[in-house]
Structure 1
Amino acid sequence: MNSGYSHHGASRTKKSLLGWMFGGGSPDEDILDNLDTLRQRSRDLYMGGAALATGALKTARTNVVGTGLRLKPTLDADFLRLTEEEGRELKRTIEREFALWADSTDCDATRMNNFYELQQLALLSQLMSGDCFGLLPMVPRLHSVYDLRVRIVEADRCCDPPDKKGRDIKGGVECGPDGDVIAYWIRNSHPLGESAGRPQWVRVEAEGKESGRCNVVHLLETERPEQRRGVPILAPVIESLKQLGRYTEAELTAAVVSGFFTVFIKSNTPENAMGEGIPGYQQVDLEDESSLELGSGSVLSLQPNESIETANPGRPNTAFDGFVTAVLRQVGAALEIPYELLVKHFTASYSASRAALLEAWKMFRMRRAWMVSGFCQPIYEEWFAEAVAKGRIDAPGFFDDPIIRKAYTKAEWHGPSAGQIDPLKEANAAKVRVDEGFSTRERETAELTGGDFEMNHRQRVREEKMRRDDGLMGGANSANEILEREQDEE
């Protein structure tokens, strides 16, 4: 008699499912119709509606981007027929030129952030609003070698124009007959702000028709096929976080009230003024006749039919911590951030704490990969093309063949490391992986410290040469011998 899901999750006869009010639609109906409300509620939680929402977004931003994802060119020297020395020299030239552009605020269209700060801004905006846009205009500036600029645009400004007759535009994203994104419609002012004058829309093509140049980078996380706009990461837990914030505020208020010795006078004759004719009472606020206080060391007498009752909210609530912990475990599961990392509270064993961090870093690495493919790498390729066009980087055949262009712009992006709970164990494990050939020194350096193995190697060569020249290679004994020899000479 089994009819698939009709007797289980899709049952319309079971009492446990009769009251389930459900409804669904296409990605446009489920997402676009509710996106404005989701964005504003998500921002309200971040700006103070719930402290844990702020912490969750900042935790994700700090671990995914941190101080910035740094460029590590990994061009295909064999395919480009470059010698090992030529390949190393070209990599150093690329790093030097890119730093000239990325370390300066000239890379920002608003001249407020450098490239690494723009990464933080773009990711935080994407997490909070669901998606974020980066326009790539060419704006010449005095004393600036490169003309490429990055202009971060908040999600609200990409919206439908009033007249979209004959165009497939939804959520400000225009698609072609095959469903491919061909253009974005950007409003000249924020729809939630006070705009001066009549709003206008600018159609920005996703790619240049003749050059194929990337004009817009769209940073979002897609959850459904044919989805055009992103959803805030807090969307599934907005209600839980808001209710938790209200509960926390109520508990805090109750705890503050319990910190005062509050007395209520219960009277069966309300026609008599409170405290009238009672020695020991003092009026606190002259403008408020009902404001009274107890005098120091006073012995009070009450009117007939009056009694004293004290306020006792019963705070702090012993069940508060357990309840909040249970809710936060569910919130952390939805956000892919373990409870320990969400509240920055590590009290479990080494193995449990490490397991929580490893689970969190699966999500952080995934979002870092999205950040690289959707933001860093496209912008880097546009910068590289300008550097080659201006003769700052020598890359023969770059504009002739896409495969050659790919070989030149191949790169890795390294960000902050996961950190170590027990540095000695982590270092020994990294050493074993390198010795057994499971990993490389370059990768382990990036994973453990976020550093650059090649730069570390060159620095170590210089340091060891200095130690050898000064006779310190033997350690403390050699140092003592040098000290004794200098004393003998004196």
Structure 2
Amino acid sequence: MNALIHTTAAATRLVDPYGNPLRTTRERAAAEARAKFRTKLRAAYDAAQTTSENTKHWRFADDLSSAEANSLDVRRTLRSRSRYECLQSNSFAKGIVCTLANDFISTGPGLQIRLKGHEDMARRIERAFLSWARQVRLVRKLRTARLAKCVDGEAFLLASTNPRLRGPVKLDIRVVESDQISTPGWADNQLDANKVDGIHFDSWGNPELYHMLPFHPGDRRGMGNWGEPIDLDPDHVIHLFNHERPGQVRGIPEVTPALPLFAMSRRYTLATVLAAETAADFVALLHTQAGAFEDGHTPQDPFESVDIDRGMMTALPYGYDMKQLKAEQPTTTYVEFRNALLQEIARCIHMPTNKARGDSSGYNYSSARLDHQIYYHALDVERVDWEIECLDRIFEWWLDEALLVNSEFRYSLPPVEELPHRWTWKPAASVNPLQDAKTHIALIDAGLETERDYLMEQGIDPELHWEEIEAQRQRRMAANPQPTTGPAQASAQDDAPNDDANTDDAGNASVARRQPSL
């Protein structure tokens, strides 16, 4: 026995070799009870309790890091299921993701450059960039990237060279599926914190290398033989995904929470159709309360089918009654259940229910506007990220090459991040354009908004707009020249009452306030 006897003036206790007093069974039980009590007090949140009722509900909760939670196997499974629902099998799902991409990109962003004292140079750069963007189908590629970001969780845009482009700038933009940005033989159990599937990072978390497979893993050319990966310079790669967790480096589909609901909606639709078909297949049922006859045979054996002639009137056997099946469930609740599912599905991407359904019946004017404000505000927030992470970089790629190959632009321009420029997006169609126009007129007259800001908000090039307005004024003057005003006409005009003057109750004339106009 390794216990020692410790004697004091008060009492004699057994102690272990380290000098700690040995506890009796009763003392140990009391200590355990106090520990359990303290533990129970610390778990004061209902959600922190684990009971027999919520064990199954929380069984998939984990404390994995963002990199482990979005591992290669998880991303591959979610991508395939998301593509199956959103692009192949579910018409509502495809309509939702396509509507999101169309609303986000619309007709494409516009570029506005401000160079004081060099306005002509700024206009030439804007027009040259627009011409190049049309050649490479930039708007279509941006829309494809936004669709991939929603369905696949990630979008990759690469800078490449296309010798078949017209003009001196041969830069082209290539959209690559996230499956192709991968490291061959990658295993999720690798412990290098600076490497994930397809991307290498430096000690500061900046990408320093991307791996791209020569062929798509699902392409028959790449199955089983992907070849050596292509090393991509991060300066020539744009990686778009939702940064939802600190330290996250790869994305998952934006519709991930809705995937089980998509499947549920399709199953419910199939069950409804099956119930209706089953009820329609059975013309009528013969029902009887009579038992079997003495020989064990009834006039109609169970599940025996009987032909019914058209226009026939007949009598049923004794004890039989006829009735028809009714598809009462789930047909009667189909529309309500489907709409509730679509509302829950669309919420994860901030889309209002009437947009997700493609149907605004049941909406009034005010509720429709309020729901759309939430949706378009979410688009505006994301567009800011795209301007910094995508559009500015594409413009930088183009401008670097344009300054090298086009002598017209050989001008000491500052870097893109310091070049005064702005991206404009076409606003959503107004449901009350007259009221919105009056609001902007009042703001411009009050000096709280400029005409340039208004035009850019509407996606209109201010300089081009003012040039067209001046040309329109010149055409009108040429078509309808003003007649020469003689002395008599001038006197008559002076004596004519002023339309802009109002007379108050005291007879004093006051000049009416001119209605503001753009």
Report the TM range for the smaller structure's normalisation: 0.7 to 0.9
Residue matched to 1:379: 394
Closer/same/farther in 2, CA of residues 159 and 404 from structure 1, 3 Å limit:
closer
Q: 2:299–2:317: 8 Å Cα contact kept in structure 1?
A: no
Relative contact order higher in (CA < 8 Å, ≥ 6 apart): 1
Letter of the structure 1 residue corresponding to residue 44 of structure 2: H
Match of 1:23 in 2: 62
> Residue type of the partner of 2:161?
M
2:431 to 414, 418, 421: 421
Does residue 12 (structure 1) correspond to residue 53 (structure 2)? The answer is: no
Which residues of 2 match residues 68-87 of structure 1 at below 5 A?
68-70=108-110, 72-75=111-114, 77-78=115-116, 83=117, 86=118
Which residue of 2 is the match for residue 137 of structure 1? 160
Deviation at 1:46, TM superposition (A): 0.9
1:35 is matched with which residue: 59, 67, 75? Answer: 75
Per-residue deviation, residues 22-69 of structure 1 (Å, max 9, x unmatched): 223011221124111111111111124333221221121111102222
Give 1:98 deviation, angstroms: 1.4
Report the residue type matching 2:43 in the other structure.
S
Residue 14 of structure 1: CA displacement?
A: 5.4
SS of the residue 1:232 aligns to:
coil
Give the 5 Å matches for 1:225-240. Answer: 225-240=246-261
Deviations 1:339-359 (CA, angstroms, capped at 9, x unpaired): 233223334333222111111
Q: Please state whether the residue corresponding to 2:238 is helix, strand or coil.
A: strand
Deviations for 1:386-438, whole angstroms, at most 9, x for unmatched residues?
A: 0000124424334xxxx545344x43222331111111111112222222233
Report percent identity of matched pairs. Answer: 21
Query: How far apart in 2 are the matches of 1:273 and 1:467?
Result: 95
Deviations 1:91-146 (A, max 9, x none): 22112211331111xx3xxxxxx111111111111111000111112243375422
Distance 1:467 1:134, change over 3 A: same
Match of residue 485 from structure 1: none
Residues 1:331 and 2:375 aligned together: no
Question: How big is the shift at 1:271?
Answer: 8.9
Q: Which residue of 1 aligns with 2:219?
A: 193
Equivalent pairs counted in the alignment come to 431
Q: Does 1:341 align with 2:367?
A: no
Normalising by structure 1, report the TM-score.
Answer: 0.78
Change (3 A) 1:93 1:330: same
- In the other structure, the counterpart of 2:20 is none
Task: Give the Å deviation of 1:177.
Answer: 2.7
- The runs of 5 or more residues in structure 2 that have no matched partner are 1-37, 484-518
Q: Name the amino acid aligned to 1:158.
A: I
Which secondary structure does the structure 2 equivalent of 1:191 belong to? coil
Matched, 1:174 2:200: yes
Rounded to whole Å, the distance in 2 between the matches of 1:49 and 1:473 is 66
Does 1:321 pair with 2:335? yes
Matched, 1:216 2:237: yes
State whether residues 206 and 215 of structure 1, in contact with CA within 8 Å, keep that contact through their aligned partners in structure 2: yes
Local SS of the residue matching 1:100: helix
Tell me the residue number matched to 1:484: none
Between the aligned partners of 1:451 and 1:292, the Cα distance in structure 2 is 73
Which AA in structure 2 matches 1:459?
E
Give the Cα separation in 1 of the matches to 2:183 and 2:287. Answer: 63
TM-aligned CA distance change 1:31 to 1:44, over 3 Å? same
Cα 1:266–1:237 change in 2 (3 A) is same
**Residue 123 of structure 1 contacts residue 371 of structure 1 at CA under 8 Å; is this kept in 2?**
no
Query: Which whole-Å deviations, capped at 9, do the CAs of 1:206-227 have from their partners, x for residues lacking one?
Result: 34xxxxxx21111111111121
- What is aligned with 1:61? 101
Closer/same/farther in 2, CA of residues 14 and 103 from structure 1, 3 Å limit? same
Residue 195 (structure 1) shift: 2.4
Q: Contact conserved, 1:94 with 1:393, CA < 8 A, in 2?
A: no
Partner of 1:396: 411
Cα 1:350–1:309 change in 2 (3 A) is closer
> Structure 1: which amino acid aligns with 2:232?
E
Equivalent pair of 1:160/1:169 in contact (CA under 8 Å): no
- Alpha-carbon deviations, 1:365-394, whole Å to 9, x = none? 122223322222211110111000012442
Contact 2:107 2:139 in 1 (8 A): yes
Tell me what 1:439 maps to.
449
**Whole-angstrom CA distance in 2 between matches of 1:393 and 1:430:** 38
The answer to whether the Cα contact below 8 Å between 2:113 and 2:123 also exists between their aligned partners in 1 is no
Report how far residue 11 of structure 1 moved. 2.9
Give the Å deviation of 1:257: 5.0
Contact 2:112–2:461 (CA under 8 A) maintained in structure 1: no
Matches within 5 A, 1:293-312: 294-300=308-314, 308-312=322-326
CA 1:467–1:152 in structure 2 vs 1: closer, same or farther (change >3 Å)?
A: same
Q: Which residue of 2 aligns with 1:287?
A: none
Write the distance in 2 (CA, Å) between the matches of 1:190 and 1:196: 6
Change (3 A) 1:418 1:8: same
Task: Report the CA distance shift for 1:99/1:193 in structure 2 as closer, same or farther (over 3 A).
Answer: same
Partner of 2:129: 98
* Alignment check: 8 A CA contact 2:168 2:402 kept: no
Structure 2 Cα separation of the partners of residues 424 and 199 of structure 1: 59
* Aligned equivalents of 1:377, 1:300: Cα separation in 2: 82
CA distance in 2, matches of 1:442, 1:202: 49
- Structure 2 match to 1:125: 148
Q: What residue is the counterpart of 2:510 in the other structure?
A: none
Pairing 1:161–2:171 present = no
Distance 1:297 1:234, change over 3 A: same
Q: 1:196 to 1:52 in 2, by over 3 A?
A: closer
Q: 1:453 aligns with which of 462, 465, 471?
A: 462
Q: Structure 1: where are the runs of 5+ without partners? A: 108-113, 208-213, 276-289, 475-490
321-330 or 26-35: bigger deviation: 321-330
The question of whether the paired residues in 1 share the 8 Å contact of 2:157 and 2:237 is answered with yes
TM superposition shift of 1:203: 3.7
The 8 Å contact of residues 180 and 216 in structure 2, kept in 1 or not, is answered as yes
- Alignment check: 8 A CA contact 1:39 1:130 kept: yes
Q: Deviations over 1:237-284 (max 9, x none)?
A: 111221122112322443455566723467979999999xxxxxxxxx
Maintained 8 Å contact 1:185/1:201? no
